[in-house]
């Protein structure tokens, strides 16, 4: 429709319009159309080149992206960042670091995005020496480093096994946000002594209590929207439960899981159930562990959030975890080959193990068998409706049908159903800042403008 309007009004050859069309088609995953628009352009500027390269990088076509990058008549820092983040996102940190060295050799100035990407590449590839060199370079260049760079440094040193150095940086940070706390907690819980991670979690919660004694009370519910207090989220509890699983702390693990749901109102996802199952298996409660894995609620198939926790759990291997999960999931599929949730369990198990080829095979099998998530079966459908409705407007028939289906499916009373909608909207608003931060640490990409 947008492209048609551009043709209708004769502005299809205006450079900013063409750049926007490339960006539009790239965001929709239609790189063939984006490339066609690019090929038909008589005049191209830096934004044009950065946009098309960014599009190919985001769909994993790094070979094509690199060919276009090499053909650019000129480059800027965004051009380099697009390529570096592209290689980083598609599990090639070595190529990301190689590009960074090339960038420095050609005299280009880096920015915070470059720094975060390069630090992340060092952490993911366990290149401690190179990470230290980047750190020294940044200290000389930036006397006062930004919060996101400090947090990235904490993450890098933790992944390289130097959690003590990460703790020093964390302690010296003048300001900390939720992502900073989570990064340090995960560093201890996954890469070092889990008990230190649990102590840091207790310190985090204690700071909330000190700021507002009424906000955090383990005997009562927490009002998450209280001021600017930093409350633990789903990522925090992944670290906490992972720590309990590593140490075999059954009582503590059960208490934290209950606290997560009943005190902090964090909805458990696959990662939390996975940690609990491994904790139970470690202490010999195999029957209960199998029961948890068999009954994990299904929300979404490999969403952005599940990719995030898959990356986190990928660093925290439990003894025999993947074998057990794979066996259970396959047995469930054999018993009920039409059940979407069982395939979802298998995909999630492979995600934790980093077995991407198996994930692709499983998804192909689902397509061949016509396995899809049942519409209106979870909060995602409700969320899409709520966020597309303006105050005072009337719901469409389809929207009313979906809301009615959801309420009946969950046996909600009208009041409880309205509370659910309100909580969903508030949760989404509350999570926007932290999800942006996690995205920057995990995928520090620039705007192509």
DSSP one-letter string for 329-390 = HHHHHHH-TT-HHHHHHHHHHHHHHT-HHHHHHHHHHHHHHT--PPTT-SHHHHHHHHHT--
430-436-441-442 Cα dihedral, nearest 10 degrees: 110
Q: What pLDDT, in 10s, does the model give residues 353-375?
A: 777 788 888 888 888 888 875 44
Q: Which residues contact 392 (CB under 8 A, 6 or more apart)?
A: none
Q: Where are the domains of the chain?
A: 383-417
Q: Give the chain's largest Cα–Cα span.
A: 71
The Cα–Cα gap between 244 and 195 comes to: 9
Task: Report yes or no: 281 and 242 within 8 Å, Cβ to Cβ.
Answer: no
- The pTM assigned to this predicted structure is 0.70
The Cα–Cα gap between 135 and 116 comes to: 11
- Give the count of beta carbons closer than 10 Å to the beta carbon of residue 58: 20
Residue 30, sorted as left (phi over 0), alpha (psi -120 to 50) or beta, turns out to be beta
Task: Report yes or no: 200 and 185 within 8 Å, Cβ to Cβ.
Answer: yes
The Cα–Cα gap between 186 and 190 comes to: 6
The Cα–Cα gap between 368 and 78 comes to: 41
Residue 215: exposed, middle, or buried by beta-carbon count in 10 A (0-12, 13-18, 19+)? Answer: middle
Q: What pLDDT, in 10s, does the model give residues 10-52?
A: 656 778 888 888 998 898 888 998 999 999 899 999 999 999 9
Residue 226: exposed, middle, or buried by beta-carbon count in 10 A (0-12, 13-18, 19+)? Answer: middle
The Cα–Cα gap between 302 and 308 comes to: 10
Ranges of residues in the chain with a pLDDT under 70 are 1, 3-12, 209-228, 298-321, 324, 373-449
Q: What is the DSSP letter of 372?
A: -
The Cα–Cα gap between 189 and 195 comes to: 7
The Cα–Cα gap between 438 and 179 comes to: 7
Residue 436: exposed, middle, or buried by beta-carbon count in 10 A (0-12, 13-18, 19+)? Answer: exposed
Residue found under tokens 């539009």:
24
Give the per-residue pLDDT at 389.
Answer: 41
Task: Report yes or no: 65 and 53 within 8 Å, Cβ to Cβ.
Answer: yes
Give the per-residue pLDDT at 212.
Answer: 52
Tell me if residue 271 falls in helix, strand or coil: helix
Residue found under tokens 């066996």:
327
Give the per-residue pLDDT at 415.
Answer: 46
The Cα–Cα gap between 326 and 328 comes to: 6
HSE toward the beta carbon, residue 205, CA cutoff 13 A:
21
231-423-257-178 Cα dihedral, nearest 10 degrees: -20
Please report, in angstroms and rounded to a whole number, the separation of the first and last CA atoms in the chain: 24
Give the per-residue pLDDT at 149.
Answer: 92
Residue 33: exposed, middle, or buried by beta-carbon count in 10 A (0-12, 13-18, 19+)? Answer: middle
The Cα–Cα gap between 17 and 34 comes to: 12
Crossing angle for the helix pair 414-442 and 397-409, to the nearest 10 degrees: 100
């Amino acid at each position: 429709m947008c492209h048609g309007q551009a043709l209708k009004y004769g502005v299809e050859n205006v450079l900013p319009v063409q750049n926007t069309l490339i960006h539009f088609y790239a965001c929709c995953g239609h790189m063939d159309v984006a490339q066609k628009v690019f090929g038909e352009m008589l005049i191209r500027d830096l934004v044009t080149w950065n946009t098309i390269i960014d599009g190919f990088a985001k769909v994993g076509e790094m070979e094509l992206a690199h060919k276009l990058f090499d053909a650019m008549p000129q480059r800027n820092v965004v051009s380099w960042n697009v390529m570096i983040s592209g290689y980083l996102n598609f599990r090639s940190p070595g190529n990301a670091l190689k590009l960074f060295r090339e960038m420095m050799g050609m005299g280009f100035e880096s920015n915070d995005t470059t720094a975060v990407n390069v630090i992340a590449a060092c952490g993911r590839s366990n290149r401690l020496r190179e990470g230290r060199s980047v750190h020294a370079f940044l200290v000389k260049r930036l006397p006062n480093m930004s919060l996101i760079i400090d947090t990235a440094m904490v993450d890098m040193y933790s992944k390289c096994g130097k959690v003590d150095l990460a703790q020093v940086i964390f302690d010296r940070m003048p300001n900390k946000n939720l992502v900073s706390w989570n990064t340090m907690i995960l560093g201890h819980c996954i890469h070092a002594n889990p008990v230190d991670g649990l102590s840091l979690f207790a310190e985090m919660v204690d700071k909330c209590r000190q700021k507002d004694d009424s906000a955090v009370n383990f005997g009562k519910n927490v009002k998450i929207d209280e001021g600017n207090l930093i409350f633990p989220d789903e990522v925090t509890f992944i670290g906490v439960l992972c720590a309990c699983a590593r140490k075999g702390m059954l009582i503590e693990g059960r208490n934290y899981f209950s606290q997560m749901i009943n005190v902090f109102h964090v909805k458990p996802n696959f990662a939390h159930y996975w940690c609990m199952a491994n904790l139970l298996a470690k202490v010999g409660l195999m029957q209960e562990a199998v029961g948890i894995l068999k009954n994990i609620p299904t929300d979404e198939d490999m969403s952005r959030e599940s990719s995030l926790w898959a990356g986190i759990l990928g660093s925290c291997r439990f003894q025999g975890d993947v074998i057990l999960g794979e066996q259970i999931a396959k047995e469930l599929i054999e018993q009920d080959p039409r059940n979407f949730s069982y395939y979802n369990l298998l995909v999630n198990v492979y995600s934790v193990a980093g077995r991407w080829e198996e994930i692709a095979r499983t998804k192909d099998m689902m397509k061949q068998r016509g396995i899809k998530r049942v519409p209106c079966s979870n909060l995602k459908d409700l969320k899409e409706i709520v966020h597309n409705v303006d105050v005072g407007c009337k719901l469409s028939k389809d929207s009313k049908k979906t809301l009615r289906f959801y309420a009946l499916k969950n046996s909600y009373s009208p009041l409880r159903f309205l509370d659910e909608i309100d909580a969903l909207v508030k949760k989404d608003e509350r999570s926007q800042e932290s999800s942006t931060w996690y995205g920057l640490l995990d995928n520090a990409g620039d705007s192509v403008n």
